[in-house]
Amino acid sequence: MGKDDVKLLSMWASPFCMRVKVALAEKEVAYEEILENDLMGGKTELLIQSNPVHKQVPVLLHDDKPVVESTNILTYIDEVWPAKPLLPTCAYGKSRARFWADYIDRKVFPAGRNIWTAKEDGQVESARKEFLDILMYLDGTLGDKDYFNGDNFGFVDILLIGLTSWFPAFEKYGGFKVEDHYPKLAAWITRSYARKTVSESLTNPEKITNFVGMMRQMYGIE
């Protein structure tokens, strides 16, 4: 399948787009990336037509048919290109993966955003505690495994690893290090970044941190 069949409407700083790029790389699916340059201002007509409800990236265009929302896109990718499955093969394993996918989607990035948007020390402290409490459960379910899927890098790993590109920004403005609290989770991040599919799909965290600093100035936080 060539790039003409698969397109990804994307934005360089979006951790949700990074998830999809990792999944496509794991599946060895060729695609064309079409970048949105100004999601805070004008949005392209292609994005609005492809995702008229939310008008957000990522959008996967497969044979010109749009698939939206990153977790939904990962499920679609796993079903359409079944080689090297991302989800576990057993029903129980799938149910566990979907539980943690929902947990990650609802909690991790919103809690991180609360850190870098906080203006007062008390707000920062509260947001930091909330974020670290959320990671506690992820660290616990990872345990001593190499990946959330056991020996294989899979669905839950991809969902979380995209978000970790923003972790250094959360650490900077929250005054903490994930490694100091959850060394196993930090080792998982390092292990995952060692994969070519991850390192070539994720934006440099330093660039993300600079982007967050720019947004803090724009919003009058600092």
The confidence score (pLDDT) of residue 37 equals 80
Q: How far apart are CA 147 and CA 141, in angstroms?
A: 10
pTM over 0.85: yes
Q: What is the mean pLDDT of residues 119-126?
A: 96
Burial pattern 38-65, b for ≥16 Cβ within 10 A else e, equals eeeeebbeebeebbeeeebbbbbbbeee
Q: Give pLDDT tens digits for 7-49.
A: 999 999 999 999 999 999 999 999 999 999 865 667 899 999 9
> Domain spans of the chain?
6-80, 91-218
Q: Which CATH class is domain 6-80?
A: alpha beta
pLDDT band (50, 70, 90) for residue 2: low
The confidence score (pLDDT) of residue 38 equals 65
The confidence score (pLDDT) of residue 42 equals 78
Domains 6-80 and 91-218 share a fold: no
> Do 96 and 108 meet the contact criterion of CB atoms below 8 Å apart?
no
* Domain 91-218, second-level architecture: Up-down Bundle (1.20)
47 against 1, higher pLDDT: 47
